[in-house]
Every structure is written in structure tokens, then in C-alpha cells.
Chain A
Amino acid sequence: MYGLKKEWEIEAPARECTLEDYVGAEARWCPGCGDHAVLSTVQRLARDLQLPPEKTVVVSGIGCSSRFPHYMKTYGFHGLHGRALPVAEGVRSRRPDLDIFVVTGDGDCCAIGAGHWIHGIRYNMDLTILLLDNNVYGLTKNQTSPTSRVGEKSNTQPHGSFFAPLNPISVVLGIANASFVAQTVDWNPPHLYATIRAAHEHKGASFVRVLQRCPHFSSHVFAPVQEDFSQMLLMESERGVKLAEPIRGMFPRTLEHDPRDLSKARELADRTDVYPIGVFYKNDNASRYDTVTQQGLEITRAEKMAAINGMLDRFAVQGRN
């Protein structure tokens, strides 16, 4: 610092962020909505990892879950329906210093934003992507979603959903360059926390599908699963998520699954008898687009000027060759 000897430098006291430092506006989701659990989990994770709020960006689309950024006290981008991923990719493209979370819903991600979803996974930029999947359009009042089960009645398909639901995990496992694919549930906070934490730690596009309840329109879908843990299969691995006792003991069905095994991951994703939770797949060697988009950040203004002048020389009419 100017005028001061180096040994006199005053160290700023280390900042300790409390949970409050991540809590934004009061969440206006319905009581009993699974979104609350995800929000408090992300806030706790940010606190535990001491993520600087000013260096944390939460990007969302449109839908109930996409109100998420408003309830964080970090930077946030509440965007357009289906378009959270392109925005988050743009934020990431030149900002390696930020922590970026993407919050999206089953309509936002799997219907209107499906194109971006596929390519966002393929770009594999460092983003923590949370798909809050309640099998229904909530904000617009009960319409069929791509993940709605066959026969589920809604305001747009009153005789029941026609199509077999899209399985987001199977879809993502089919996309080239996918690097982290996990599933968890809103009603088991320790698993939710451990899964999102593992996703955040992974460098690349970490995709987490959170099965969650919509108390208004689809509570019946996951209520039986919430009540009967045998409908879930706890996938365990040192490389993925490993719960400690006594939480682990709540799950009657467990399976040791190596998340490097893609074909096993696909097999598990396709199971219809049970909801596997944990990390399906993790590949630390998938190529990351952000390592490409962040090239050149160190180039100085003088170097830029010299480069552009060099390019203009190529077009010079006089004194060329």
C-alpha cells in the first residue's frame, strides 16, 4: 500500500457470514411446498462453505421454483421461462470467480427450456443446476408437465395425462458430456444437503433432480414415497453421497453404486419399481466449455490495441506488401 511498509499492512478482519447473510425476501411459496426445503438447504450450504454473497449468483427461469433468487440475499437473475441455462452460461463464460446456482422446474427445464437443457448439459460449464420437479405446473395453476405420470388429471388434460412421463435422469444420462447426475428428495434434508453439496463441489454442470411435493396440485404423487422409505433406493458411494447413521438407517434399501459406471447408472435411472436417490453418474474428466470461454481474460488493453491494429494492417490499401 502506498506510504506504508509492507509489514505494517493491516489485515481486514475475516468476514464470517451467518445464515442471515443469505436470507433474502420472505419466501412466498405455499406452506408445505418442497421449494422451502431446497432454499434453506442452499442457504445452509452457502453459509457452511462461506460463499461470499456478492460472488454468488442464483439464476432461474419462470415458475414457482424460479422465484428462488428473490429469497436469497446474493446476486440473482430471475429470467425468462425456460431460459435460465443460457443466461447462467453467459454469466459463467467470463466470470470464473463466481459461484453459480441454476434453479429450474419441470416445465421450465423439460418443456419450454428443453433445447437449452440438452446443450447446457453438453457444454458442462461449472454450474450447480437444481431441477425442482413436482410433476406439475403450479404457478399457472395445475397443468400437465412433461414429468406428470400417465393418467394424472390437470386443467389442460382433464381426462388424465396422455403420455408416458419424461424421465429427466435418463434424458441427462443420454446427453454427451454429462458429468454429474444426481437425484434427491425434498423430504429428507440430510440427503438433500449432501447431494447439493456434492453437486456444488463437482467442477462442471452438476445436474440434481429434486423430487418434491406440490401441496396444492401433486401432493399425492410423492406422499406415499415420503411415508414409505422402501420406495426409495439409497445409492451410496464414497465418490457420490454417503449418509451417516442414523439417517442412513431410515432407508431399508441401499445399493453401493460406483458413479463412474455409466451403463449401470442408466440401468438404475430406468427403474420404475423404486426411486433411486444419490449420485447416478460423475465424470471428472468431461471437457468443460468454461475453460474455453475464459481464455484471454488476462490480455491487456495494450495487447488488444496492438492486435486490432495488426488486423487493420491486413486491410490497408496503401503500404501493403
Chain B
Amino acid sequence: MSSGVASGTKPQIITEHVIEIISDSGEGAQTCGQMFADLCARNGNGIWTVEIIPAEIQPPARSRAGASGYRIRLGSKPLTNAGDYADLVIAFNEQVLYSRLDSKALHGGTLLFVDKSWAENPDPGIRRKYNEAVNEFRERGLVVTEVPIEQECRKFTDDPRKGKNMWVLGMLCATYDFDPSAVGAEIAKRFARKGEASVKQNQALFTDGYDWALENVALRFHVPPHESTTPMVVMNGNQALALGVMAAGIEVCSMYPITPATSASHFLASTIEQTGGIVHQAEDEIAAIGFAIGCSYAGKTAVTITSGPGLALKTEFLGYAVMAEVPLVIVVVQRGGPSTGLPTKIEQGDLFAALYASPGDVPKIVIAPATIEECFHFMITARKLAEDFRGPVMVLSDANLATGQKPFPRPELRESWLAPPVDQSPWNPEVPPFAWDKETGLSRRPIPGQRGGEYVITGLAHDEESHVAYDSQINQRSMEMRSRKLAVLRSALKPPKVYGDNTGDLLVVGWGSTLGAIEEAVDRLRAEGLKVSSVHLRFLSPMEPGLKEIFGRFHKVMTIEINYSDDVGQPYITEDSRRYSQLAQLLRAQTLVDIDCWSRVPGSPLPPGVIEEQLRQRLTRRES
């Protein structure tokens, strides 16, 4: 594909930019964003992406809350979060921008390119709304450029709704000084299913967008890529965890559709056959975990992937897996709660549910990846822990990791990651099915097919022989044994690394997908000379050791989380009545340190600038 137009204005060299492509649902802004992000990553740039998703498949067109799109933070260096305000936005209509303004994704100075075809719409209401909005955006300081997206697209298609995205992709390529020559092949791949005519049409749209931008866009940018010597891969967190499932040798993913977890299962459904595995779509969430437990019991440790409401339904079986010590991996891709909550949005609200949502005492391993790369590697860890510690391992991801894309070093697969073949050798009948080691509580399990190991697994209280036992001493002992395993695992963990100095005024504690934003906020404050550090927990049950000692080296400790907590000063809310965020409550209970917290539930990632502001306030409060 070649462009016949002159080279355009000279691009400015910059180190990073945050770009958003916003449209009505169904106009393909996400496809455009993904393809552009892919192009950036393959160019060697750092990226972090966020999907902007309405809860409905197709909300009414031009509705304020219907924004669908993609945010790409593009940089020279590797990036760890989605950044603060957008520097450049391309909008297919003006109404969808309101929700972006409301969520503070845009600000004065943001370069806004908006489709101006609405100004000539036959409907006077639409024309008026368009003009009002554009004036308002200008008043709010946005730098608005009106772009004839639809008119240009009409040169190639009668249905510009289906063509705008490739035209805008061309525009982005020109604006960010990318070589358009490789994009034609990508478009061909993407649209191959729709036939040759569609491929040609989309390639033509792309070229036209590219040429238009070269001629008409006043400001162009160049973000130099960084040199990387290690081979890299780029994918989102759900893809990473699906690949991790296979690399761990897990053969069965048993699931029920639930946003935002399902895309991991979609990926597995299209690939796991190649590794000899299956995806079982069960009739409900309960059956999904029951099937996985049956599979694990028969020797093939399985995974079930869900989100908050699904976790709620699975809790009885989760308790069973703890009680009967069945290895199992449960992935919870958290979304906004409680109840049905915010299905497509980001929250870290299921920590307590993961830890406690089951009757009785249910000690289990809970881990939380903090990066997309960890989404891959934690699956291998999770399967191994499930088998070694004979019980369920919960992996808490969230919607931010699930849909965000970021490059990371290509994993070097090891055969030892794969589950071993099912042991079918004879079992010594002298060894009971729960031969709990007196010290550690650990035991090996017989697997159906092992002669001499026949036993009946049960969720009732049981003794070492797995015989139903209501005896009080046996109950006390078996509870001890199941709990002991967590202490044993904890003894093998290392204290978390402190990011920044080992002592200081403020220590921030986080978990999950907030890692990058917290560390960027810490970096900015430290650059100003403020004494802030952070630690990020991956193990939430058992907790990593040494926390109390680390906390003792800072004047103040606080958590930053994306879940709900009360703010002191609101009506009725005092230091005494205040409900803390989930990790803060846990840490307070574990360490008896007076840990503060700041948490919000915006449904979106916390930008580093917002965290920076909160940390700054906490620091000044200390000084005053």
C-alpha cells in the first residue's frame, strides 16, 4: 500500500502519549485500537491499553453513557499503567465524549478530533447538539479539530458505520509517524473472513485516512521505540492466563459464561484442543466448579474461571474442595460489585469473598497477579500449589488486567511446568487417604485407578481414613491440619520487596492490577524528594512474611485499592465507625499496625496522577 501524498508536517519527538478512540458500540473503535496498539508494540514501543466498554452489546447510538472504545498509552519505555489524561482523542460522534469528560479521562489541552458529519445531519436536533457540544468542549479547553470522517468514508462505502474504524486507523498511523506499508497485510488478515471485496475496501479506507491526516493534521508525533534485546510477546491478561493454563498442563477448563472472565475461556476454546485439553461450558456456575472438582478428584487438576457473581455461586463447592482437600485452580476475574454490579468495569472487591465466602473455616491459598506477565506465570504456580498443598488455589485477576495489553518477555516454556501423568501405581493400603503429616498437615492423595487406595471422599467431617467422624477431637485436629498447610507455605515465602527506600514517611501497600499506577505515583513523588515507598502483595493467603517489620520502618502505612471504604468526615463516619478497604482490614488484623487506606470504585483503573495526589495529601497531613 502506498501513499501518493507528500510527507506532511514534521513530527514532534515525544516520549509518550495517551490516545483514545471513542465511538458508539458496534462501530469498531476497539478493533481500530487493538490494531493500532499491536502496531505500536511490534514497532518496539511500550504500550498499556484499556478497553472502554458499555455494559450493553449495543446501547442506543449517540448516547452519553454509550462510549465504546480503546485507550492506548504509547511510550518509548515500557509502561505499566494507562496513565492520566488523554493527549489525543478521536471520536466518531460528540455525545460519547461526555462520559469520558465525566470520568476525567480528558482535560484542557487534549487534542480532540471529532467527526463533523453530524453538523450536516438532516435532523436539526442532532445538528444543534453537535454544535453545542463542540462549543462546550472548546470552552473547556479541548483543542477541537473537526474531521470529515463520514464524508471521506462515503467515498468507499455506503455504510460508513462499518468503515470509520479503518479510516481512523490510517489517520492514527499518519499522526504517529508509523510506516503504513505493513498495515495492509494486517487488514487483509483481519477481514479475510469477510471476503476479498471487504479487504480491499478496508485497505482503501485506511489509505485514505492516512493520506487525509498527512495533508490536514497540523501536529504529528513520533514516539521513538526502545531497543529490546529479549524476545517479547504482547497480549492481554486473559490471553496470558489462558496460555498459562495450557503451559501448566491443565487439560480441563470448566466454566460458565460471565463478564469479564469469559474471554479467557473463548481463547482456550479455540486453542486448548491443540494441547489435548477441553473447555467444558457447564449448565451453571455450580456445575462448572463441580465438574472441575470431579476432574481433579480423578487426577486431572482442572481450572474454573469466573467473576464475582459466579464466585458467589461456587462457594459451597469451594468449601468442599477445602474440606476434602481437592486440588483445584479457581480464577476470579473481578468486576464491579456487589451483586450484578458493574459487569464490564474494574474493581478489586472480591478479596474477602475469595478468602471467606464459604461456611465454616476455609483456609485456602489466594494469589493475585499484578501484571499481565504474572497472569501467565501464576497459573503454573497455582496448579503446582494446588497439588502440593492439596486444595483449591484462587487466582484473583481483574478487568484491568483481563483486557489491558502490554508486551512482556516471551516465556521460555519448561516441560516441568506441565502436570505429571496421573499416578496409577498401586497405593500402599497401610497409608490412609489423609495421612496428615503431624508437623505440616500435608498428605498425598490416592487417585481412582490406584489399587489399594480405594476411599470415599466426603465433605463431612472425617478422620485420616476419610471416614465420617463427628468426634470433637478429630474435628479439632483435622481443622488444624488444613489450616497448618497455609503456615507451611508462608514459611517458604520471602518478604515482599520494598519499591523505593526501605524507610521513609509513607509506605503504600497495594495488590493486583494497581501495581504500575502506584509505582509511577511513587516515582513522581520521590523525584520531588518526598519519602514514599511501596510494596505490592502477590500472596494474600497466606500473606507474605515480614510485613510488620517493613511497616515499622515507615511513619505511616496506607493501602490504595479499587474497592469501597468510608471516608472520615462524611456524615456519621469517624475514625471509629469507618469501614476500611479490604486489604487494609486484613493488614490491620494481621499486623496490629494502624494502617490507613484510600480506595475508590470508579469502575476504571486508578490513574497514577490521582494516586499521586492522595499520597501527597497524606504526606502533608502528617507534616501539619
Q: Mark B341-354, 1 if CB is under 8 A from A, else 0.
A: 00000000000000
Indicate if the CB atoms of A87 and B294 lie closer than 8 Å: yes
Indicate if the CB atoms of B411 and A76 lie closer than 8 Å: no
| Known A88-B294, A90-B292, A94-B252: A315·B239 in contact at CB below 8 Å | yes
B185 proximal to A (CB < 8 A) = yes
B274 proximal to A (CB < 8 A) = yes
Size band of the A side of the interface?
35 or more
A215 contacts across to B, CB distance below 8 A: none
Indicate if the CB atoms of B233 and A87 lie closer than 8 Å: no
Size band of the B side of the interface?
35 or more
A91 touches which of B249, B298, B458 (Cβ 8 Å): B298
A280 proximal to B (CB < 8 A) = no
| Known A57-B298, A95-B298: A320·B293 in contact at CB below 8 Å | no
Cα-based distance from A58 to B454 in the complex (angstroms): 11
What distance in Å separates the Cβ of B301 from its nearest Cβ neighbour in chain A?
A: 11
Q: Mark B235-267, 1 if CB is under 8 A from A, else 0.
A: 100010001001101011010000000000000
What distance in Å separates the Cβ of B275 from its nearest Cβ neighbour in chain A?
A: 4
Q: Which of A3-40 contact B (CB under 8 A)?
A: 24-25
Q: Which of B397-456 contact A (CB under 8 A)?
A: 407, 410-411, 413, 415, 418, 446, 448-456
B290 proximal to A (CB < 8 A) = yes
What distance in Å separates the Cβ of B189 from its nearest Cβ neighbour in chain A?
A: 9
Cα-based distance from A59 to B448 in the complex (angstroms): 12
B294 touches which of A24, A93, A118 (Cβ 8 Å): A93
What distance in Å separates the Cβ of B575 from its nearest Cβ neighbour in chain A?
A: 43
B454 touches which of A75, A87, A296, A319 (Cβ 8 Å): A75
Indicate if the CB atoms of B233 and A83 lie closer than 8 Å: no
Cα-based distance from A85 to B291 in the complex (angstroms): 8
Q: Which of B307-333 contact A (CB under 8 A)?
A: 316-317, 320
Q: Mark A65-85, 1 if CB is under 8 A from B, else 0.
A: 000011011111111100101
Indicate if the CB atoms of A78 and B460 lie closer than 8 Å: yes
- Looking at A76, A301, A304, the one whose CB has the most chain B CB atoms below 10 A away is A304
| Known A296-B277, A297-B276, A307-B274: A312·B448 in contact at CB below 8 Å | no
Q: Which of A40-78 contact B (CB under 8 A)?
A: 52-55, 57-59, 69-70, 72-78
- Looking at B271, B283, B411, B415, the one whose CB has the most chain A CB atoms below 10 A away is B283
What distance in Å separates the Cβ of B461 from its nearest Cβ neighbour in chain A?
A: 12
Cα-based distance from A292 to B448 in the complex (angstroms): 21
**Residue ID in chain A nearest B448 by CB atoms:** A75
A298 proximal to B (CB < 8 A) = yes
B610 proximal to A (CB < 8 A) = no
B364 proximal to A (CB < 8 A) = no
**Residue ID in chain A nearest B450 by CB atoms:** A54
A299 proximal to B (CB < 8 A) = yes
Indicate if the CB atoms of A54 and B291 lie closer than 8 Å: no
A116 touches which of B274, B287, B293, B450 (Cβ 8 Å): B287
B147 proximal to A (CB < 8 A) = no
**Residue ID in chain B nearest A83 by CB atoms:** B290
Indicate if the CB atoms of A94 and B300 lie closer than 8 Å: yes
B457 contacts across to A, CB distance below 8 A: 76-78
A309 proximal to B (CB < 8 A) = yes
| Known A91-B448, A317-B233: A119·B283 in contact at CB below 8 Å | yes
Q: List 6 A-B contacts (CB under 8 A).
A: A70-B467, A75-B448, A119-B282, A296-B251, A308-B243, A312-B233
Taking beta carbons and an 8 Å cutoff, which residues of B are in contact with A? 41-42, 44, 182, 185, 228, 231-235, 239, 243, 246-247, 249, 251-252, 254, 271, 273-278, 280, 282-284, 286-300, 302, 316-317, 320, 407, 410-411, 413, 415, 418, 446, 448-460, 467-468
